[in-house]
Structure 1
Amino acid sequence: MAFGGIAVLALGLMVFGIVRAVSDDKLPVAGKGGEATAITQAEMSNLLKQHSKALTGGDKGTYLAPFDGGSSALKTKQASLFANLRKVPFAVSEYQFLNIDGRAVDHYGAGASASVDVAFVHQVKGADATPVAEWYRWTVEKKTEDSDLKVTAVGPATPKLAGFGKMTNYPAPWDAYDSMAVTAKPHTVILSDASQAADARRYAPYIEKAAKDNLERWQAHGPKDGRTMPGFVVTLEKNRKVYKNMYRAGTGDEDDESISEAGVSVQMPAVPAGGSKAKVDVQNGGARIVMDTAESRFTRPDYASGVLEISHHELAHTLVEPLTGPDGQAQLWVVEGFAEYMAMRNDSAAAAREVRTLKAYYGGRFVDPFDGKLPTSENFHSTIDEENSAHYTLGWLGIRFIAEKYGEDKALTFVAEQYKNPKGMDAQLTKATGMGTDEFQDAWADYVRKQIS
């Protein structure tokens, strides 16, 4: 029963600041020399500082002023963005300059024009562990040395920004929707198109319950060291095309017809606020969950159990994102097994159904019998739907086996340590169960065979 999982951001050293910039020392500043028309870092930084103040202060006129040089459609879109952002409970919301690329200096009277990468650094109150970022590319023009900067186009930043992988986390719901609805609960902030607000309100209590369940379970039985998420930002979307594009424009995922996930958790790297270049103490400061509400879990008459099931799963992914270490992703049988464990432990009927499905799979619909091997990350996501679902169930039974035999504290500590250090599997299993990888796999295989016999 595959929900989908996490959208992975391959990160290098997280030093937030200028990647490539026009030097302020060598270029004339507008109105001070008359030698050239230049778009400088200092000028862009000042524009973005005023843009940030306008957003936090609710000054729509100042916020929209840089877009006066663009089309009416651009200004209308930015007006809707401003309105959408004002609905979100941000603890931090600021724009930061990253990079200038293009004809940022003009000596011939044609005016300067450049592509400017801009970070929207933000932290949703009660949800994000640290500030995170969405990256834009603005087309900026300056007609004369005394002209104000004007933005004529807005889209996702280049995916080649050093250290940030291929994801730009664009478009967020506030970009995608002309009018966005926000449904806030104590542990969840649920975003949707305004036309889908009634659906969001109907599903919100079940998503909030899943959030509360997961947070309480981790607080009671998870390790006390290491930061986890305090809450969750969830987008509900029933249009499959919009769903697949959310946060993923320019990655190729939005056009991948093989993506059949019902929900996804998109990693959001931690970044410092205030323009600081200091390192942050976690790699991922948050994650954004998107769920497809056209999927059967949301549309069937008994939708409550379906919404709880997928919410427990996807919110589990997000819960532990700040634990992610610098050495890549944890083994997928642990990643998806943990998320399934959090879903199944709250739904005994769904758990029994998962085991029956696995039994039927190995009992005749699959050409090979159960081989007693834990799924590898390389083959975890198969193009065969039944095998994909089987891998999720096998991962779940791996985490459940540890929890049942050695206690839930041991199981959740093992998950946390695997997120921190994916290469430490053998030592982590030994600590949790007293068995190394091979011995654990044999014991787990016997446990699985008993379930499906």
Structure 2
Amino acid sequence: MTLGILALVLVVAVGAGVGFVLRGGSGGDATGDATGDPAADPNTVVVKDDEIRDLVQAHTKALASGDAKAFTSIFDQKNAALIRDQTRVFANLSKMPLAEKSYEVLRRQGRAQDSFGRGVKFTQDVAFVHRFAGIDLRPVSEWYRWTIEKASPNAPLVVTKVEGAPPTISGEASKTMYFPGPWDIWPDIVVEKAGSSLVLARPEDAAMARRVAPTVSAATTSDLAFWQKNGDPNAAVPSGFVVALVKGKTQLGKLFRTAKANEDGVSIPMPRWGLANDTVKIGGTRVVMDTTSAFFEDEQGITEISEHELAHSLVAGLDSAQFALFGRANWITEGFAEYVAGRDQPITQNRRYAEGRAYLAGRLAMPFDGKLPTNPLWDFKQMTSVNYLMGHLAMRFIAQKYGERKLVEGVVAAYRAPGDDSEAALFQVLGVSKADFERQWAGYVRAQLA
């Protein structure tokens, strides 16, 4: 059982592909686009930028005004399945408490002009920019790839296919940019208030959503209370979270991303849209939890996974989102979330405690050498779970020796530093070298797991 947070390599991809801060209303890669006058021949079929802009703006207006007929009018009316799907998207989005929602033009690919009177067909990436009221720090975006056709010089543009747009750089963890949202693939959405947070679920999971909502509400209150006591009151942290419930790893990997999932829960950071000089790089997060995991066998487990994932989301907005070769140290990221979730319980009650003792006894794939876990070996031969425990114990050691405020200060420094410098930033706050810290921490670990 593994808890986790989606690597911010996806954020880096956004930065590398479109200058990190997306420019609302601008076209990205306009391959094949004709922005000047078409040929004098009246048979020329050409698609201009303003046609695309008008199409996308009309789609935005239809969603904002609650006009389902106008919303679906841009799609191929002969494709019953497509119209049915987009009608469902409209209905689902209408249930979302969104303070902002719009569609914005991204990059275009394909043949958008033909001088011989033939129709044209190309793909247009479109961002669905949105912000959950009272939850997202800034607007975020989900990327669609529309296939668009224009049959003749005076014919309207028709969207014939909708799918998720791929990242701007190949080889990323997710094959799509924050697609699909639950509104894209669920037949309906149950929305349960959980204090200042929201729980989203399929209709067949309505009972589970009602069961989980009070726990998510309590976890939100607990995590925010921890921050209010120990964190910077001026820091950009959310006051609530979006939590979606799924069943199984396949569903877990196909919500707000398209990737292979190994976690039991995940907090997915989403880059903010626009505002080039904004210091907040991560506009919001989406928490997804697998209700078939062992954590959902009892209320204690649901509390643990909720507090863990919400702790990730709590500090996501403080991330510098700077490029890093190896990324922020996992023992800091996961150790902090584990600490926040288990700070009030003795370590002997931790579900990984027995595994930790086996680690010290040399019964796991690697022996305990008194060193903090490294990212390259984080998942080596099923060592992931015990590495979570080592991160947790590192945070417990810091809290006991330096205090929780210093712990939070160090973690925030690690988030605000470039990922590869995260350890150095934390140790600088603590005023200790890594070697001295590891030596003291190793003794603490042996005492805790004796």
Do these two structures clear the TM 0.5 threshold for a shared fold by scoring above it? yes
User: How much has 1:369 moved relative to structure 2?
Assistant: 3.8
Greater shift in the superposed pair: 279-288 or 312-321: 279-288
In the alignment, the residues of structure 2 paired with residue 439 and residue 161 of structure 1 have an alpha-carbon distance, to the nearest angstrom, of: 40
Equivalent in 312, 318, 321 of residue 313 of structure 2: 318
**Cross-structure match for 1:297:** 295
The yes-or-no answer on 1:51 pairing with 2:47 is: no
Show the 5 A alignment for 1:199-214. Answer: 199-214=208-223
Show the 5 A alignment for 1:50-449. Answer: 50-69=58-77, 71-160=79-168, 167-249=176-258, 253-254=259-260, 259-272=261-274, 278-298=276-296, 300=297, 303-325=298-320, 326-328=322-324, 329-348=327-346, 351-363=349-361, 365-366=363-364, 368-384=366-382, 387-421=383-417, 422=419, 423=421, 425-432=423-430, 434-449=431-446
How large is the RMSD of aligned CA atoms in angstroms?
A: 2.3
Contact 2:359 2:368 in 1 (8 A): no
Deviations 1:409-442 (A, max 9, x none): 000110111011131533531322x311111111
User: How much has 1:339 moved relative to structure 2?
Assistant: 0.6
Scaled by the length of structure 1, the TM-score of the pair is 0.90
Contact 1:6 1:317 in 2 (8 A): no
In the alignment, the residues of structure 1 paired with residue 347 and residue 217 of structure 2 have an alpha-carbon distance, to the nearest angstrom, of: 21
The yes-or-no answer on 1:14 pairing with 2:16 is: no
In the alignment, the residues of structure 1 paired with residue 38 and residue 102 of structure 2 have an alpha-carbon distance, to the nearest angstrom, of: 27
Q: Which runs of 5+ in 2 are unaligned?
A: none
Deviations 1:322-360 (A, max 9, x none): 111114432110000001001111444774443343113
Secondary structure in structure 1 of the residue aligned to 2:101: strand
Q: Which runs of 5+ in 1 are unaligned?
A: none
In the alignment, the residues of structure 2 paired with residue 70 and residue 313 of structure 1 have an alpha-carbon distance, to the nearest angstrom, of: 47
Greater shift in the superposed pair: 18-27 or 70-79: 18-27
* Residue 101 to residue 27, structure 1, CA distance change in 2 (3 Å): farther
Contact 2:191 2:199 in 1 (8 A): yes
In the alignment, the residues of structure 1 paired with residue 169 and residue 379 of structure 2 have an alpha-carbon distance, to the nearest angstrom, of: 28
Contact 1:121 1:131 in 2 (8 A): yes
Q: Which amino acid aligns with 2:401?
A: K
The yes-or-no answer on 1:2 pairing with 2:2 is: yes
Contact 1:114 1:141 in 2 (8 A): yes
In the alignment, the residues of structure 2 paired with residue 15 and residue 435 of structure 1 have an alpha-carbon distance, to the nearest angstrom, of: 36
In the alignment, the residues of structure 2 paired with residue 87 and residue 367 of structure 1 have an alpha-carbon distance, to the nearest angstrom, of: 49
Q: Which amino acid aligns with 1:311?
A: S
In the alignment, the residues of structure 2 paired with residue 15 and residue 367 of structure 1 have an alpha-carbon distance, to the nearest angstrom, of: 43
Scaled by the length of structure 2, the TM-score of the pair is 0.90
Between the aligned residues of both structures, percent identity stands at: 37
In the alignment, the residues of structure 2 paired with residue 174 and residue 43 of structure 1 have an alpha-carbon distance, to the nearest angstrom, of: 27
Secondary structure in structure 2 of the residue aligned to 1:323: coil
Contact 1:182 1:192 in 2 (8 A): yes
In the alignment, the residues of structure 1 paired with residue 449 and residue 347 of structure 2 have an alpha-carbon distance, to the nearest angstrom, of: 16
Contact 1:70 1:150 in 2 (8 A): no
In the alignment, the residues of structure 1 paired with residue 60 and residue 108 of structure 2 have an alpha-carbon distance, to the nearest angstrom, of: 19
Deviations 1:171-214 (A, max 9, x none): 11111202121112332111111121121111111011111111
User: How much has 1:160 moved relative to structure 2?
Assistant: 2.3
**Cross-structure match for 1:26:** 36
Contact 1:337 1:395 in 2 (8 A): yes
Contact 1:427 1:436 in 2 (8 A): no
Q: Which amino acid aligns with 2:399?
A: A
In the alignment, the residues of structure 2 paired with residue 359 and residue 184 of structure 1 have an alpha-carbon distance, to the nearest angstrom, of: 40
In the alignment, the residues of structure 2 paired with residue 95 and residue 120 of structure 1 have an alpha-carbon distance, to the nearest angstrom, of: 5
In the alignment, the residues of structure 1 paired with residue 302 and residue 317 of structure 2 have an alpha-carbon distance, to the nearest angstrom, of: 25
User: How much has 1:33 moved relative to structure 2?
Assistant: 7.5
In the alignment, the residues of structure 2 paired with residue 199 and residue 44 of structure 1 have an alpha-carbon distance, to the nearest angstrom, of: 42
Contact 2:280 2:318 in 1 (8 A): yes
* Residue 415 to residue 70, structure 1, CA distance change in 2 (3 Å): farther
Contact 1:10 1:165 in 2 (8 A): no
User: How much has 1:7 moved relative to structure 2?
Assistant: 4.0
Greater shift in the superposed pair: 316-325 or 131-140: 316-325
Number of residue pairs matched by the alignment: 433
In the alignment, the residues of structure 2 paired with residue 243 and residue 64 of structure 1 have an alpha-carbon distance, to the nearest angstrom, of: 29
